[in-house]
Amino acid sequence: MPEGHSVHRIARQFAANFTGSPVAVSSPQGRFAQGAAQLDGHSIVQSRAVGKQLFLEFDHGLWLRVHLGMYGAWDFAGDISVGSAPDAERTGTVVGAHEDSPWSIGAPRRTRLRMAESEKLEPELETWPPEPVGQVRVRLLTETACADLRGPTACEVLTIEEVDRAIAKLGPDPLVDDPAEGEERFTAVVRRKPTPIALLLMDQSVVSGIGNVYRAELLFRARLDPFRPGREVPEETVRGLWRDWVHLLRIGVETGHMLTIDDLDEEGRRRAIASRDDRHWVYHRAGEPCRVCGTPIAMTELGGRKLYWCPADQS
């Protein structure tokens, strides 16, 4: 499932390549034909990410809301910006590029870039506009750029009042809300809930953007028992979870990867970029030895998702 960093990166792609020009909106699949007709011919004036949801504002006051869910993805094509991550380059957060990384190729380039949980650069285009691939729910097309949406959980046209109501239901997002205010909201909610902290971190009304990967990694980095009720977690630990989420989300947005192991050496960074198996402490490592204590990593189902943790370090 795409997590918060991916949606913020998608919003940046729209801001860089789609705002200000008339957009031809269609539904090659046919399931979004009525909604597409409401937006067709209008310009995108704003792209916003809040947690796992994307909101695109059009110049006549209507918005497109998209939630990618478990399997959704955006395919961008055309003269799109795929050559740099400016914020990361300035701050030094970039951990390196590899041959499949969008950041290894100059921009702009008439190509195809798939953006979901991860990002994959495809071969250069031979025709324009490109033929839709798979079941495309909605296509957004300008003279120079194309975005195809496939497999979303939600794709709908909203008014600004409906957008405000949708956002009001979401917990704080460190890249949208004031981080200090977000910390207070998050801490207050968690500290009064009897729900296990592992479930609270996945509840988008508690905090926006955290999915299964970040959930497991945040809990391990805090050495926190996933099953401990939120109201029993010490306040400073709850605040530490929020601050670590701020830190990891920024890295994810800047690099395009969910990198949750800090202080890697050069070789470790190369491995982490090349393989997800070398990016995380516990996620997707059931049965493998803990990187800290050697205890086999445990896995169980919680809230319909797989939860990974170290029984020794998180006891």
- The tens digit of pLDDT for each residue in 226-251 reads 999 999 999 999 999 999 999 999 99
Pairing of strands 63-67, 154-158: antiparallel
For residue 85, pLDDT over 80 is answered with no
**Residues 219-226: what's their mean pLDDT?**
98
> At which residue do the structure tokens 């926190």 appear?
224
Cα–Cα dist 4/133, whole Å: 25
pLDDT value, residue 106: 41
Sketch out the chain's domains with CATH numbers.
4-167 (3.20.190.10), 171-309 (1.10.8.50)
Q: Which of 173, 171, 185, 212 is nearest to 306 (CA)?
A: 212
CA-based torsion, 5, 168, 170, 117: positive or negative: negative
What share of the chain in percent tops pLDDT 90?
Answer: 71
Q: What residues form DSSP beta bridges with 105?
A: none
DSSP summary character for residue 230? G
Contact indicator for 282, 290 with CB cutoff of 8 Å: yes
Cα–Cα dist 80/111, whole Å: 7
**Active-site residue list:** 2-3, 52, 305
Give the range among 168-172, 222-226, 255-259, 267-271 with minimum mean pLDDT. 267-271
Alpha carbons within 13 angstroms on the beta-carbon side of residue 205 total 5
